[in-house]
Each structure stands twice: as C-alpha cells, then as structure tokens.
Amino acid sequence: MVDKPAGLMVHDSKLARGEDDFLADRLREQLGRPIFLVHRLDRATSGCLLLAFEREAAGALGKALMGGEVEKDYLAVCRGWPAEAAFTVDHDLDGGPGKPQKKPAVTRFQRLATGELPVPSAGFETSRYALLRCQPQTGRFRQIRRHLKHLSHHLIGDTSHGDGRHNRTFRMLGVHRMLLHAERLAFPHPDGGRVEVRAPLDAQFRKACDLFGWSP
C-alpha cells in the first residue's frame, strides 16, 4: 500500500491532459522494479492505494476486489447536513466519458460530525457542512463524488461535481484540495490472512477539520 498525495495522477490516461508526472512511474523508478495497480484513485483524492509487485498477486487482489472481499473506507466533507446518521445510496452511474451505459452503483454513508461556518448561504446566516465516512460497494467512475452530487450534498473542493460557491468559501479559508481521503483498506492477502492498512489525513484535510473542531 502507498499513501497517495492529493493532486497526483495514478497513471497516464485520457484525463491526463498533457501531464507527464504519475505516481506509478515514480514508484517504478524509485523501486527499480515493475508494479501492478490493483485499483485507482482520482487525481484529487488522497490516501490508501493498493498495488502489487507480482502480476499473480495483483490478479488475486483484483479478484478479491471484484468479489466484494475488499473493504474501502473514505472520509469526505460535504455541504449540508444529511438527515440520517447512516444511509445508503443505490443510484446507477455510467462509466464516465465515452461509456454511457449505466451500471448499478451503491455507496454506504455514515455521518460522523456536523458543523457550521459564519458564511451566509441560501438565505441562512450560516453554511452547514458534514464529515462523512463513505464505503463504496461498487467501483464506478467517481462514484462517491457523483452520489453526493445526486443527494445535493456536494463534496467540498470537487471542481467537476461540486458546488463552486462552497468550494470558494473553503479556498478563502486556506483549504485548496478536494476533501475526499481513502482512509482505510482491508483485504485478504494472497499468501493468507487478512490485512488492514490506514493512511493519515494530510495537513490540508486536517485544516478543514480544525475549522469545525472535528477529530476524525
């Protein structure tokens, strides 16, 4: 497992738009050996990224991922306060650009904390925000981000599916990243046993939490 920083693409793709700096290339150069990615994280997402040194191990882990044997926990900050402390979004999503076919997409959410900022919003004197734990049960393109948009609880810092007004508020307060972090992975090791790994929050995400006195 590696702790991917926010803002770095995992590998080259159609979304790279001329970029030439990728995490996979950095690791291959640093380690001097091939690596095989088991899954992906968006450029703006930080945290746990699973990889393998052997093709067979990557295949076994990929099979476990497809079979629902891998647990993935993310932390996110969204606009508004979701009404329920725990809820599930079951909303089909397409595969992204050039892939219009919709497929089942399910994400479980848990509201961990709520807070307000003294910034007027929608006729109210304050703006409300929530810290969520997100557990995607499927692996669709930008699934958590798009499910939060579907709920109108947009992810803070998301420039594609978020709310620009709230993104600007956080930028003015010194938070300049998308607030989605892959905090935890638990998976069956190809050689036996179960492994659990965690990635700490970076300084920017902690700064956002400090605005509300949250301690995730």
Strands 106-117 vs 2-4: parallel, antiparallel or unpaired: unpaired
Mean pLDDT of the chain: 94
**Quick check: 2 pLDDT over 90?**
yes
Q: What is the pLDDT of residue 15?
A: 61
Q: What is the pLDDT of residue 135?
A: 98
**Quick check: 105 pLDDT over 60?**
yes
C-alpha distances (whole Å) from 150 to each of 31, 89, 91, 100, 194 are 41, 9, 8, 17, 34
C-alpha distances (whole Å) from 74 to each of 28, 100, 112, 155, 196 are 26, 26, 12, 12, 14
CATH number of 2-210: 3.30.2350.10
Domain boundaries, the chain: 2-210
The answer to whether residue 42 is catalytic is yes
**Closest to 48 in 3D by CA, of 6, 107, 109, 4:** 4
> Quick check: 64 and 89 in contact, CB under 8 A?
no
pLDDT tens for each residue of 26-57:
999 999 999 999 999 999 999 999 999 999 99
Q: What is the pLDDT of residue 16?
A: 55
Phi, psi for residue 196 in degrees, rounded to 5: -125, 130
Instruction: Please state, for a pLDDT cut of 70, what percent of the chain lies above it.
Output: 97
Overall average pLDDT of the 198-210 stretch: 98
End-to-end CA distance of the chain: 21
pLDDT tens for each residue of 109-158:
999 999 999 999 888 899 999 999 999 999 999 999 999 999 999 999 99
Q: What is the pLDDT of residue 4?
A: 97
pTM: 0.94
Quote the Cα angle for 46-48-52, to 5°: 130
Of the residues 42, 73, 158, 163, which is catalytic?
Answer: 42
More confident residue, 42 or 99: 42
Answer positive or negative: Cα dihedral of 142, 99, 166, 173: positive
One-letter amino acid of 203: A
**Quick check: 216 pLDDT over 90?**
no
> Quick check: 48 and 3 in contact, CB under 8 A?
yes
Q: What is the pLDDT of residue 71?
A: 96
